């Protein structure tokens, strides 16, 4: 492919999973600099969590929105992001905007681009839990982004089927795997650990490390407190188990974690870890208990058993490959799963072929994008060609990239 002028691609991200998952895509776009010119916008959704990840993956940030204030509602956050993105979209005039996943940043980015008639590419398209309120607001965000997006990069064949079932044109979907696997494999090769993690591993040497993360909105409050209580009792009953919980900075999570777990024996509450340390910790863990989405995608490659603190998942592939088990919904379910894991005679878990990708998703997404950009751009559903609003800005069929 030869290019006279590279195609302008804008990426928008605001949370750590978005950085982790867009980094392999951005690196590939940078590699193909004859064809693509990339502008990265940090939406400011989780500023303090984001920076170590941006630094680790060496991502240039070209624009940073200043929209975050503690305690603001999702509506305020979303509205402020759309407004703040608008002048940047106007100035850069990207030919495509890439968003990832299901956060408020991704929704705001897709909506702002749509309003400017800029095609949206959705990385990690087609996840569905089936319950519009779980996870909240992510499941609805995903569904809305699907309606707004022009091109859909689905991680798995199931994700593709979900999109087809909603009437998405098959020609606009590419099955690419999830770039989280690319990111994870890169990090696994680096084997670096901070003194902080080394210290934690030394103190818990010889123990079964139970790594916990939980911060999903729908789990906040009673549900989270109950889960943590069950985990605390389990640790109390087993003197060879150490619980390590990198606590999300959300004040509601911090408060519950402190109330239920602070001061207990063999329980370590830490700050959120950077990706190198966190993956290092997971790799040396006995068991993971988490409500995270990304960890469900990482566990198969790591070969670590995962108790998913949810009662539905949009990633059933993790359960089907034998690594994950859904334990949300009742304390008995979590308690029973912990005991099953503890009394298993041998650890029968090992790395399995990852259903979410093989580590080549960044290149596959960028190639699919290149292919999509060569096609005439289909109008989004419901777009009225005859309306006075004019036509969607679309790359010409013959435009080289």
- Provide the minimum distance between the beta carbon of 33 and ligand UDP in the complex, in angstroms, as a whole number: 27
Q: Which of 272, 378, 380, 400 binds ligand UDP (CB under 6 A)?
A: 272
- Provide the minimum distance between the beta carbon of 287 and ligand UDP in the complex, in angstroms, as a whole number: 15
- 52 binds ligand UDP per the rule CB under 6 A: no
- Provide the minimum distance between the beta carbon of 356 and ligand UDP in the complex, in angstroms, as a whole number: 12
- Provide the minimum distance between the beta carbon of 213 and ligand UDP in the complex, in angstroms, as a whole number: 5
DSSP letters spanning 113-137: HHHTT--EEEEEET---SBTTBSTT
Please, which residue, 167 or 195, has the CB nearer to ligand UDP?
195
Which of 106, 133, 131 lies closest to 120, judged by CA? Answer: 106
Please, which residue, 57 or 275, has the CB nearer to ligand UDP?
275
- Provide the minimum distance between the beta carbon of 238 and ligand UDP in the complex, in angstroms, as a whole number: 24
Count the Cβ atoms, other than its own, within 10 Å of residue 156. Answer: 21
Q: Which of 289, 295, 299, 306 binds ligand UDP (CB under 6 A)?
A: 295
Separation between Cα atoms, residue 89 and residue 99, nearest integer Å: 14
Q: Which of 57, 151, 245, 275 binds ligand UDP (CB under 6 A)?
A: 275
Separation between Cα atoms, residue 149 and residue 292, nearest integer Å: 24
Q: Which of 19, 20, 241, 309 binds ligand UDP (CB under 6 A)?
A: 20
| Cβ(7)–Cβ(401) below 8 Å | yes
Separation between Cα atoms, residue 202 and residue 212, nearest integer Å: 18
Separation between Cα atoms, residue 94 and residue 318, nearest integer Å: 35
Burial 299-311 (b: 16+ CB within 10 A, else e): bbbbebbbbbbbb
Which residues are designated catalytic? 102, 124, 138, 215, 217, 248
- Please give the residues from 217 up to 256 whose contact with ligand UDP meets the rule CB under 6 A: 246
Q: Which of 293, 300, 328, 363 binds ligand UDP (CB under 6 A)?
A: 293
DSSP class of residue 171 equals: G
Q: Which of 44, 294, 359, 363 binds ligand UDP (CB under 6 A)?
A: 294
Q: In which order are the strands placed within the sheet that holds 267-270?
A: 267-270, 241-246, 208-213, 287-290, 306-308, 324-326
- 328 binds ligand UDP per the rule CB under 6 A: no
DSSP letters spanning 19-56: HHHHHHHHHHHHHTTTTEEEEEEE--TTHHHHHHHHHH
- Provide the minimum distance between the beta carbon of 216 and ligand UDP in the complex, in angstroms, as a whole number: 7
- Please give the residues from 101 up to 140 whose contact with ligand UDP meets the rule CB under 6 A: none
Q: Which of 213, 219, 256, 361 binds ligand UDP (CB under 6 A)?
A: 213
Q: Site residues (CB under 6 A) for ligand UDP?
A: 16-17, 20, 213, 246, 272-273, 275, 278, 292-295, 298
């Amino acid at each position: 492919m030869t290019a006279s002028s590279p195609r302008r691609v804008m990426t928008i991200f605001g949370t750590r999973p978005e950085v982790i998952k867009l980094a392999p895509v951005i690196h590939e776009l940078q590699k193909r600099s004859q064809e693509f010119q990339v502008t990265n916008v940090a939406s400011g959704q989780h500023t303090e969590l984001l920076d170590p990840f941006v630094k680790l993956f060496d991502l240039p940030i070209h624009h940073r929105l200043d929209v975050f204030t503690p305690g603001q509602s999702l509506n305020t956050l979303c509205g402020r992001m759309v407004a703040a993105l608008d002048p940047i979209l106007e100035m850069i005039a990207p030919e495509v905007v890439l968003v990832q996943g299901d956060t408020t940043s991704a929704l705001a980015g897709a909506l702002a681009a749509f309003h400017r008639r800029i095609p949206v590419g959705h990385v990690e398209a087609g996840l569905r839990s089936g319950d519009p309120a779980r996870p909240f607001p992510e499941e609805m965000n995903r569904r809305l982004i699907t309606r707004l997006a022009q091109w859909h990069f689905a991680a798995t064949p199931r994700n593709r089927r979900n999109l087809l079932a909603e009437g998405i044109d098959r020609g606009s979907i590419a099955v690419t795997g999830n770039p989280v696997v690319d990111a994870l494999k890169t990090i696994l090769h680096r084997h670096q650990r901070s003194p902080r993690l080394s210290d934690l591993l030394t103190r818990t040497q010889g123990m079964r490390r139970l790594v916990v993360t939980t911060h999903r909105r729908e789990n906040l409050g009673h549900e989270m407190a109950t889960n943590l209580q069950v985990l605390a009792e389990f640790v109390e009953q087993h003197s060879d188990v150490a619980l390590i919980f990198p606590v999300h900075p959300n004040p509601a999570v911090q408060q519950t974690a402190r109330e239920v777990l602070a001061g207990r024996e063999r329980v370590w509450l830490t700050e959120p870890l950077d990706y190198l340390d966190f993956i290092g910790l997971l790799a040396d863990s006995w068991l993971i208990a988490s409500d995270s989405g990304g960890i469900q995608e990482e566990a198969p490659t790591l070969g670590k058993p995962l108790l998913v603190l949810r009662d539905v998942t949009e990633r059933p592939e993790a359960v089907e490959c034998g690594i994950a088990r859904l334990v949300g919904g009742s304390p008995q379910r979590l308690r029973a799963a912990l005991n099953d894991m503890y009394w298993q005679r041998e650890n029968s878990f090992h790395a399995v072929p990852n259903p979410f990708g093989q580590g080549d998703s960044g290149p596959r997404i960028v190639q699919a994008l290149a292919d999509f950009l060569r096609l005439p751009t289909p109008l989004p559903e419901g777009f009225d060609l005859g309306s006075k609003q004019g036509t969607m800005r679309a790359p010409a069929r013959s435009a080289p990239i």
